[in-house]
Amino acid sequence: MASPEESPESRLERQLEQALRAGRSKSFLLPQLERLASIAAQGSRAWCFANRSLAELLLEQAPWRAALHARRVALATPDDEAAHALLGLALAIQSNYRAAIASYRRALAIDPKNPWYLHNVGHLFDVALDLPREGLSYLQSAHREAPSQDDVAASLAHCLARLDRRDEALELSTELAARRAERSDFAELDQWIRQGNTRHSRPPALLAPHSFEPDSPPSDAASPARIDQALAVIESAPLDDAQRARALSLLEACRSVPIPSDGDATALGAAIEYAVRRRKKGGPTQQAVAERSATTTAAVRGWFSVLRPLLPA
């Protein structure tokens, strides 16, 4: 229920956050978000939320419009790495690869260990700009931060092969092709590396650059057992009543978020703890909540990236 002091834009923002989580249609969301963007003060939380949400929803059908909304947020709040990353993705979809890389690098300046930003920069250098040497360090860092992400490993194998580091590339591609037999692109990648001449050719499945997020590989739905595992972490966390309520609400929203079969549900619980405590003065670092929950900082960081669209601006 809205408080008596709640402004019209704050009320609309709250309602639209709920609508987004409920999966309402774009035909409903887009005009409402446009309205919120027009009535909220530039640079305010509601204004940033509206423009960022518009960028996310418009990426596929109108990437140029998505880029405009993401750029507005990036200019108004330069420390918003999600806005820079959204702008990078919108630019990459429009084949404006160098500008896309520049935007992802701005996001990395704020969150330098984010594996999804690292991957996208490295893959754009390798595949879009034909500069594998410039992309290698980014892909190696992405693989180090997210070693269980198959698409990161595939991109790294591709880049290594193009630099004539065939043995290292084969070690990755062979394991991927064997473990993920349902992925024809991984089989094509492995065959391409084995055939040689990788410096002057490309495997068909990797001709176009792609960007991806941590839940992109095929995965199982969040099972009750995994939800219970994350719930146990939340219940043991040092949260006040308001934080615990927000944490449980986030966990409920995550029931529709895929958790990979090898996903760390403990890290999901830790990421939720971090998400609800981070804004409070003296809040913990991702490393601190990871250590308390006996998981890794990289896993917490990956899940926090998944949670970010569910969080207030």
User: Which domains are delineated in the chain?
Assistant: 1-110 (1.25.40.10), 113-218 (1.25.40.10), 224-310 (1.10.472.10)
User: Which of these, 146, 80, 71, 76, lies nearest to 111 by C-alpha position?
Assistant: 80
CB burial readout 216-246, b (16+ within 10 A) else e: ebeeeebeeebbebbbebbeebebeeebbeb
pLDDT for the residue numbered 200:
59
User: Which of these, 244, 219, 224, lies nearest to 233 by C-alpha position?
Assistant: 244
pLDDT for the residue numbered 73:
93
Residues forming beta bridges with residue 259, ordered by sequence position? 220
Q: Mean of the per-residue pLDDT values for the chain?
A: 82
CB burial readout 136-152, b (16+ within 10 A) else e: bebbbbbbebbebbbbb
DSSP secondary structure letters along 182-227: T-HHHHHHHHHHHH--TTS---GGGSS-----TT-S--B---HHHH
pLDDT for the residue numbered 83:
92
**E strand or H helix that includes residue 151:** helix 150-162
pLDDT for the residue numbered 241:
79
Which tens digits make up the pLDDT trace of 130-144? 899 999 999 999 999
HEC per residue, 2-19 = CCCCCCHHHHHHHHHHHH
Task: Specify the pTM.
Answer: 0.65
Kindly give the confidence (pLDDT) of every residue in the chain, 313 residues in length, as a single tens digit, with 9 standing for 90 and above.
Answer: 445 577 888 888 888 888 887 778 888 889 999 999 999 998 999 999 999 999 988 888 888 888 889 999 999 999 998 899 999 998 888 888 889 999 999 999 999 999 889 999 999 999 888 899 999 999 999 999 888 888 899 999 999 999 999 999 999 999 999 988 888 888 888 888 888 766 656 654 454 444 555 433 333 344 455 667 788 888 888 888 788 888 887 777 766 555 544 456 788 888 888 888 887 767 788 888 888 888 888 778 877 877 776 676 5
pLDDT for the residue numbered 291:
86
pLDDT for the residue numbered 204:
46
